[in-house]
Structure 1
Amino acid sequence: MDSSANGLRSLQEESNRILILGNSETNGSDNSVCTSKYSILTFFPKALREQFRRVGNVYFLTIGVIMFIGQYTDAWNSSISPWTTLGPLGIVISVSLVQEGYADVARHRNDKKTNTHPCILLKCAEDLDKSDKKRVRDESVFNGKDIEISLDIHQRSEDESNLPLPKAYTTSVSIDVKNEKTKTVKLAFERVQRKDIYAGDIVLMKSRDMVPADIILLATSNQGGSAYIETSSIDGETNLKLRSSPQIPNDELNLLQQTETLEQAAKRLAGLTLLGYPSGVNAAENPLNNYRETEVEREESYRRISSKSSTFKGMFASSKRSMAYGGSINRKKSKDVDTETYVASLLSEPPNPNVNNYTGKLTLPPGKDGDPSITIPLNNDNILLRGAVLRNTEWAIGVACFTGDDTKLVLNSFTTPSKFSNLDKLMNKTVYVIFFVMIVLISLMAIGAVVTNSNRFDEFWYFGLNKNTTQVWPYLPDLPPPEWETGTENFVQQMFLFITLLNNFVPLSLYVTVEIVTFCMMYFINSDRDMYHAKTDTPASAKSTIVTDLGRVSYIFSDKTGTLTRNVMRFKRCSVDGLAFGAPIEKKSPKATQEKEEEKSKEGDGNISSEAFHPLKQLLVGTVSIPSLETREAESNVEVILPGEKTLTFNAEMFLRVMSLCHTVVV
């Protein structure tokens, strides 16, 4: 996932998108999302670079290189083997790489789980059968069976299309002589992985499903094509939001019934998209769209033509739209235009991270031949954003508008950062101070060594220093003369020598200990039974290596509803016209309440408890039934109570109705 300097994904200037409903834009972005930091090829280079953000690791690597050069070359002397530093450093970095790799593997698993989640697409059954790849129908929809749809094919014969028109009609009358045919198309519900959704695909979602991409709503099971979504994963709000299908004008197209079945909605959409007409043409390219006039202009044109020719008033009344164009449409139409079938298209804004606004235009095929296409504006109420959850809606169908990295959720997300704990920052500052003190001491020691060697060179024969190479050992004249060194190291060589001697100023064991402690803390978090959610079988998961910062937390800022509380409301008491119903609430400690209950149990059944009478229960479930009108007249308003009979009273029903319509909740 690419990101700009500020952490957000950089956006290129793009123009508006044009999508044909039912046509998968496979050349565009797929619907896969990647939150992992590394791949197999980039893990070692990137992870090693992250390890050397620690000043201590850079320090020990530098010391190891200095020791290595001093040990295996003549540039300077090294008093310690380089492997005493490079070996432990390699172990520390290896442990850190294992931790980083373990955390990134968890991200890869989550990405795979998200990208391979099953989704349902509406596809032409013929395309599934002809495909070389194995494509599976979803068994949860109509038991995996296809839907047969009968579609009309309008085709004008060549002879009839060239019929000459009378002079009186050539400029004002539209005559269409057509042969109507029907064809049968099978519609299938294909099960695909979420990553295989492309812009233009028609997606079927069910209740409690996560919206797999940014989708323009087209049909739902609710009345009026509305749907409810929960956007807690997007904006943190738990209240449901209402989204609606595009509203089709009544005067342009006959509206369907208020509530559709899934089969009806699928058939309707197939007749408007490439699912039913694979060779259809974009409805936005209808040449008659250029001659669309406003209602005022059409009315003026109609009145002007009607005043000139009263003979054709009845024809004008039945074909008002054709008359409004003054015959210009007939002159512009050609045989090719008549034989084309138009399908719905979507003109959408380019991908952007604004989750509160959306602008687009849905173009539907004309309601009848000779009409321009139907244009419906779209706004934020018509789009379902990726990450939202469908609620209180049995099913919903929509067209994928933005997929994968183009979705608004991904555009608002940050790349997975390489977090640096406060403990690491503190150790870096400490290393800087120690290194500064070390350089000062090494400089003083190197200066002292150079001055001492130059002033007392002849006295250091026991170091093997002597300007006379033929001189024998002092006090041992019988031994052959050794290979005397006639010079000493300069200041730079002395500096590197003392660096190797004092390299333990920065303790390598500190980093080893921190890595071991971090690894153990992650293990204990993952194994903690107190952080295990049994209902969803979800244990705690430490996905970051900065768990050491948990001990430095002083304040926690959090919302209350649904986070610190369960967001479950339970009835305690209610007050109706000043009369309180329900058990009294005692504001005492749990211990005092328990002691009181124990005392009541010891008192026995002889005492009458103050909580024995429940007026609300008596009100809701009464022992008096309401007799019919005939029974009342026969019994002279005398009510008969049968033993053990409990029915819902009229007062209880009205009480519940009033309380559900008009109430105030105090938490």
Structure 2
Amino acid sequence: MKQCHVLIYNFTQWLCQTVASICHLIFFCCSGNKVHSASETRTVEVGFIDPNDKKKHNKIKTSKYSLLLFIPKNLSEQFRRIVNFYFLVVTLISFFIDSPVSPFTSVLPLSFVVLVTAVKQGFEDFLRHKEDKKVNNQIVEIVHKGVIKQVANSSIAPGTLVRVKRGKEVPADLVLLCSADPKGKCFVTTANLDGETNLKTLRVPPPIVGYTHDIIPQGMQIDIPNPIADLYTFYGRLNIPGQDTIILSPENLMLRGSRVKNTEWAIGCAVYTGKLNL
């Protein structure tokens, strides 16, 4: 019986390693073009809102499970663990071989562990669903045709002009275009992103310093690259009709999750939303 357990354990280890290698190979093949795609650029039209676009561009989802797929997905994740998979194989084999020990002595502990883990992970995911809903339905201010409007956070799309007041959290990655500060400065904290509590100074691009939401130049466009996973790397170009192109840098970008401080309000154009946030 002991030799049988050793053989089962060795086979389980080999099977799990083989499956992991295959999954890693598939993931590598599918994601091999990410570096190339990150170098491409796209254009965002400042202030443009498509009235027919009902997509929730800025919707976030941190939850892992849906109600329909919770049981199969959770069981699949649990039995990917070598220990759980090993005891599952031993339990199944014990039903087909003569053993002095009842198979139910293996079934009951395994079932208890799986059930407790499923309940714990299900409750944690339920809390994530609640938090996602709260964030997505949060009311934010946008500027449309010179008028301040209130909309749900999830409806922010690339190109939307968003106004963030003092003490409020930035709802998407925004290129700073207006500030209540006469010199075009905006102070933010990024404690939620990198743990730093010191104020960071952001700046409005020089040619449009002093503009307000009702006199923002029409027809502006922002050229940006696809997002990369680096909070401190950003570049782009701001194209203003009749003026030279302006180079954008990290000091022109308000990151999602940062908080406006010591500035009455700031207005920025959403460039990265939802899953595309840096």
| Short-chain TM bin | 0.7 to 0.9
Q: Aligned residue for 1:585?
A: none
RMSD, aligned CA = 2.7
Aligned AA (2:119): V
The structural deviation recorded for 1:85 is 3.0
Aligned AA (1:39): S
Tell me if structure 1 keeps the 8 A contact 2:56–2:156: no
Q: 335, 351, 354: which one pairs with 2:227?
A: 351
Q: Aligned residue for 1:66?
A: 93
Tell me if structure 2 keeps the 8 A contact 1:28–1:199: no
Q: Which whole-Å CA distance do the structure 2 matches of 1:243 and 1:59 have between them?
A: 55
The answer to whether structure 1 residue 195 and structure 2 residue 154 are counterparts is yes
Aligned length: 245
Q: Which whole-Å CA distance do the structure 2 matches of 1:113 and 1:12 have between them?
A: 35
1:57 to 1:18, Cα distance in 2 relative to 1, 3 A: closer
Q: Which whole-Å CA distance do the structure 1 matches of 2:226 and 2:189 have between them?
A: 25
Q: Aligned residue for 1:16?
A: 41
Question: Can you give the 5+ residue segments of structure 1 that lack an aligned partner in the other structure?
Answer: 71-76, 125-186, 249-254, 274-342, 367-372, 409-667
Q: Aligned residue for 2:215?
A: 268
Q: Which whole-Å CA distance do the structure 1 matches of 2:123 and 2:35 have between them?
A: 32
The structural deviation recorded for 1:407 is 1.4
Structure 1 residue ranges (4+ consecutive) displaced by more than 6 angstroms after TM superposition: none
Q: Aligned residue for 1:182?
A: none
Q: Percent identity?
A: 34
Tell me if structure 2 keeps the 8 A contact 1:29–1:405: no
The alignment's TM-score, normalised by the length of structure 1, stands at 0.34
Q: Aligned residue for 1:36?
A: 63
Aligned AA (2:59): S
Q: Which whole-Å CA distance do the structure 2 matches of 1:189 and 1:378 have between them?
A: 26
The answer to whether structure 1 residue 388 and structure 2 residue 271 are counterparts is no
Q: Which whole-Å CA distance do the structure 1 matches of 2:274 and 2:81 have between them?
A: 35
Tell me if structure 1 keeps the 8 A contact 2:55–2:155: no
Q: Aligned residue for 2:122?
A: 101
Helix, strand or coil: the match of 2:186?
strand
1:59 to 1:344, Cα distance in 2 relative to 1, 3 A: closer
Q: Which whole-Å CA distance do the structure 1 matches of 2:215 and 2:244 have between them?
A: 15
Q: Which whole-Å CA distance do the structure 1 matches of 2:111 and 2:59 have between them?
A: 36
Tell me if structure 2 keeps the 8 A contact 1:122–1:202: yes
1:252-331 mapped onto 2 (5 Å cutoff):
258=210, 265-269=212-216, 272-273=217-218
Q: Which whole-Å CA distance do the structure 2 matches of 1:349 and 1:234 have between them?
A: 21
Question: Can you give the 5+ residue segments of structure 2 that lack an aligned partner in the other structure?
Answer: 1-26
1:195 to 1:28, Cα distance in 2 relative to 1, 3 A: closer
The structural deviation recorded for 1:192 is 1.7
Tell me if structure 1 keeps the 8 A contact 2:147–2:214: no
1:86 to 1:27, Cα distance in 2 relative to 1, 3 A: same
Helix, strand or coil: the match of 1:204?
strand
Q: Which whole-Å CA distance do the structure 1 matches of 2:226 and 2:143 have between them?
A: 25
Q: Aligned residue for 1:315?
A: none
Helix, strand or coil: the match of 1:215?
strand
Q: Aligned residue for 1:83?
A: 104
Q: Per-residue CA shift, 1:174-207, capped at 9, x if unaligned? A: xxxxxxxxxxxxx432222222111000101100
1:366-405 mapped onto 2 (5 Å cutoff):
366=242, 373-405=243-275
The alignment's TM-score, normalised by the length of structure 2, stands at 0.78
Comparing both structures, which one devotes a greater share of its residues to strand? 2
Structure with the greater alpha carbon radius of gyration: 1
Q: Aligned residue for 1:57?
A: 84
Aligned AA (1:60): F
Tell me if structure 1 keeps the 8 A contact 2:74–2:118: yes
Q: Which whole-Å CA distance do the structure 2 matches of 1:87 and 1:354 have between them?
A: 47
